[in-house]
A and B are shown apart, each in its own frame.
Chain A
Amino acid sequence: MAASSDKSNVRSANVRTALILLSIALVFFFGIIFAKFVGDASTGMTVIGFAILLFLVVTIGRSVRRKK
């Protein structure tokens, strides 16, 4: 029972990590097209800045939660 619960915990952790990584890839893909579509260099920087900020918030948040 404990082994299957461990496996399911690892599985959920894997899916969470994969979704975070996928979201980064999608932000970069659509971000670059959106930034060029708008035609403003500062939009591109904002998109990348937001992506990095989002990643930091999520990873720091997860780390803090785990320590609690």
Chain B
Amino acid sequence: MSSIPHDPAADHAHDDHAHHPTGIMRWITTTNHKDIGTLYLLFSLTMFFVGGTMALTIRTELFQPGMQVVHPEFFNSLTTLHGLIMVFGAIMPAAVGFANWQIPMMIGAPDMAFARMNNWSFWLLPPAAIMLVGSFFVPGGAFAGGWTLYPPLSVQAPMGMDLTIFAVHIMGASSIMGSINIITTILNMRAPGMTMMKLPLFVWTWLITAYLLIAVMPVLAGAVTMLLTDRHFGTSFFNAAGGGDPVLFQHVFWFFGHPEVYIMILPAFGIVSEIIPTFARKPLFGYASMVYAVASIAILSFIVWAHHMFTVGMPAAGLLFFMYATMLIAVPTGVKVFNWLATMWRGSMTFETPMLFAIGFLFLFTMGGFTGLVLAITPVDIQLQDTYYVVAHFHYVLVAGSLFAFFGGAYYWLPKWTGTMYDETLGKWHFWTIMIFFNITFFPMHFLGLAGMPRRIPDYAQQFADWNMVASIGAFGFGLSQLIFVYVLIKCIRGDGAKAPAKPWEGADTLEWTLPSPAPYHSFETPPVVK
């Protein structure tokens, strides 16, 4: 986005008046978008470590062939809950945390449109997380049939499945409330002069993401409600024994599930689109085409769901349609990658930690996109379905995609959030260690998948031993590297570092950088005039 000059008369003289409770009550009763953003981000970091611990247990079991550490049933519960927690507990709340912190400041609004609903949206999440993790401790244990909750296993599973269904309901309600809030804020509360085509790209990506959430979260909620009635109220939506159709669930689930992938990646696109122009010291190349590309990706995401189901069986015309539709998504995604590269082209680039993460994102996400194109080819997908190639692909997209962008965003905005500059040396150590260990963990999984190793198994043939050992070593390195981030974060929160100026990044030009650092508790009570 090009620079946004705004009226300097719109000062922030009254912004510091923070009338709020103190202690724990501040956080429970807060309606302030910055506090709620902080709560979302800390919650997602906690869940990231919970899900990460499950991942490390999985990798410990897979370190060598044979059964070493956990029972097979518990292993399957771990893979299921790892997926659910990372998707619903870590990545999505992190994106909402960024939205809460940044959107009002970027559009010149004093807060979110519905401040109390914002508080409820967050406080629904901890009970849902407790239910999800608590399902390990009920009779029969946590659901072990995979995060996709396919019947018939999900219809027959013990009580842990009910807790999972309720958790999904609650997290879905939280997401829908959050989305309504975000869309309303963006549409109705922009500062004077902030037209839609002047919105920072992060705001645009979140606007489109929120529409996606409103369209697909109710569909997932409907699907799991039907599962619940099949389990307890004698209906037969998906129960084949009563005339139901389990394949129907897969169609409904993936009608939610594929847009969900973009729900997790579009805010990451937005963050990267803020970071790259700042550190290239150039306006974003092709702003309008970036907006249209995001919208195209969102629309196309509704018509590709069955590429997750090529092996389930469908007419040849269906296979061809979903294959070509999936490949079509590469076009707007390619536009975005081209524009990011063109923004960097002949820019006065510097490589601070946020920029390293943005470039790491660009490199690794593009690799994940390419393997996605490979999997879009129906005959190839039929060969690779349910192998570690698929595991490698979606971790390149979601870990190197969403997670790298979120780390980049955290380093980018930490000075604004805390008023303290992060430790640049440690930030760079964090980037390089996770960049190296990420690839050590997930790149060998392509080889394992191509050699035929199935996913979701606690034991495997001897031929897969070497690469599994490498992947497990990488996973522990990747997990431990995150402690560097925790240390950097604690240092910033405690104010242990150089004091951050209002605009620590020379090339940054969005509205939040006109505020002092740390951003005052109340900001833009008098809307700035954007010229």
Q: Which residues of A contact B (CB under 8 A)?
A: 10, 13-14, 17-18, 21-22, 24-26, 28-33, 36-37
Contact = CB atoms under 8 A, between A and B. Distances in A.
A21 B214 CA distance: 7
17 contacts: A10-B188, A10-B189, A13-B188, A14-B114, A14-B189, A17-B183, A17-B184, A17-B187, A18-B184, A21-B180, A25-B214, A28-B215, A28-B218, A29-B219, A33-B226, A36-B222, A37-B237
Given A13-B188, A24-B214, A25-B214, A18 B180 contact: yes
Nearest to A32: B222
Interface string B188-202: 110000000000000
Contacts of B215: 24, 28
Interface in B171-187: 176, 179-181, 183-184, 187
A44 to B, nearest CB: 9
Nearest to A31: B222
B225 A33 contact: yes
Nearest to A26: B218
B113 interface: yes
Contacts of B219: 28-29, 32
Contacts of B489: none
Contacts, number: 61
Nearest to B216: A28
A25 B211 CA distance: 10
Contacts of A33: 222, 225-226
A36 B248 contact: yes
Nearest to B235: A37
B188 A17 contact: yes
Q: Most chain-B Cβ atoms within 10 A of its Cβ — which of A10, A22, A32, A37?
A: A32
A18 B112 CA distance: 12
A29 B114 contact: no
Given A17-B184, A29-B225, A32-B223, 15 more contacts: A10-B189, A14-B114, A14-B184, A17-B180, A17-B183, A17-B188, A22-B180, A24-B214, A25-B218, A26-B218, A28-B218, A28-B222, A29-B222, A33-B222, A36-B226
A29 B221 contact: yes
Q: Most chain-A Cβ atoms within 10 A of its Cβ — which of B113, B181, B187, B217?
A: B113
A34 B374 CA distance: 37
B180 to A, nearest CB: 5
A49 to B, nearest CB: 13
Contacts of B184: 14, 17-18, 21
Nearest to A17: B184
Interface in B105-131: 113-114
Contacts of A24: 214-215
Q: Most chain-A Cβ atoms within 10 A of its Cβ — which of B184, B237, B248?
A: B184
A24 B225 CA distance: 18
A18 B237 contact: no
Contacts of B223: 32
Contacts of B217: 25
Interface string B208-242: 00000011111101110110000000000100000
Contacts of B188: 10, 13-14, 17
A37 B225 CA distance: 12
Contact of A21 (B179, B221, B222, B252): B179
A24 B217 CA distance: 11
A32 B252 CA distance: 8
Given A10-B189, A14-B114, A25 B237 contact: no
A13 B187 CA distance: 9
A6 to B, nearest CB: 10
Nearest to B189: A10
Contacts of A29: 218-219, 221-222, 225
A34 to B, nearest CB: 9
B399 to A, nearest CB: 30
Interface string B327-368: 000000000000000000000000000000000000000000
A30 B189 contact: no
A28 to B, nearest CB: 4
B222 A18 contact: no
Contact of A14 (B113, B179, B216): B113
Nearest to B215: A28
A22 B183 CA distance: 11
B210 to A, nearest CB: 9
Contacts of B214: 21, 24-25, 28
Nearest to A22: B180
Contacts of B183: 17, 21
B119 to A, nearest CB: 15
Contacts of B176: 22, 25
Contacts of B114: 14, 18
Contacts of B189: 10, 14
A13 B214 CA distance: 19
Interface string B153-169: 00000000000000000
A36 B181 CA distance: 30
A13 B188 CA distance: 7
B388 to A, nearest CB: 33
Contacts of B222: 28-33, 36
